[in-house]
Amino acid sequence: MEAGIQPVEQALLGGGQVDAGDADLGKSEFLSPCLQLLKQPLRALKMHPRHHTVHRAILATHTLPWPDEAACEAAAARLAQQLATQPALRDGFIALDGPLGAGKTTFVRHLLRALGVQGRIKSPTFAVLEPHEGTGAAQGLAISHFDFYRFDDPREWLDAGFRDLFAAPGLKLAEWPQKAGALLLPADLTLHIEPAPTDAEPDARRVRAEAGTPRGVALLEAWT
């Protein structure tokens, strides 16, 4: 596996299929390996997001070994520690990309638990947004978990008022960010998660973390 943080120049924010997630952490995706604010003319927004390719700069990248869900949970705990204890990182935007069953929602749930979120953690697949608040070391941290898979038109982003929410303080976690098209701010950190099963590690994932902003670089360096 690639070791250390590697500087790079350009990236393509990829797509995938629906990842509905599970109702709670007891039923995990790992059990089955299987955007800049509005600056465009309205005519550009009429393009279906499935056909809208957005190029983003990548300032640094790092590959993370996740041989099983325990490694995913440990990685989430390390990231939560940085988010909870470093004020400059608490308002970050983390995007998650990957196919069905890759483990995007599972990782988010582990991260939310590590940030002290209590009670049932629902997938935002149907609601689009699930708000949370951290406790313990992350006391008072507002957390917004998005799933944009069901967006059929980027203008839904404006209608839902998400532009103001992304401009407000708090941590933003977004699955299927490409569905919001160019209306979405560049992510500080993007996690590309793909199943990579082997005979020895049937639940293994291949994870590539990409920093798209200076804050993302700081977060990646602190995390890894």
| Digit-coded pLDDT (tens) for 90-132 | 999 999 999 988 999 999 999 999 999 998 899 898 889 999 9
Residue 23 lies in a domain: no
Q: What pLDDT sits at residue 29?
A: 60
pTM attached to this predicted model: 0.78
Decide: helix, strand or coil at residue 56.
Answer: strand
Residue 12 scores a pLDDT above 60: no
pLDDT tens per residue, range 130-181: 999 999 999 999 999 999 888 777 677 777 888 888 889 999 999 998 888 7
Residue 150 lies in a domain: yes
Give me the CATH number covering residue 204. 3.40.50.300
69-to-27, 103, 107, 174 alpha-carbon distances in Å: 12, 9, 9, 20
Residue 179 lies in a domain: yes
* Average pLDDT along the chain: 80
Residue 56 lies in a domain: no
Domain boundaries, position 85: 66-223
Domain count for the chain, please give it: 1
pLDDT tens per residue, range 45-97: 344 444 444 567 899 999 998 999 999 999 999 999 999 999 999 999 999 99
Residue 198 lies in a domain: yes
Per-residue burial over 163-191, b = 16 or more CB atoms within 10 Å of its CB, e = otherwise: eeebeeebbbbbbbbbbbbbbbbbbbbbb
Report which DSSP code applies to 96: E
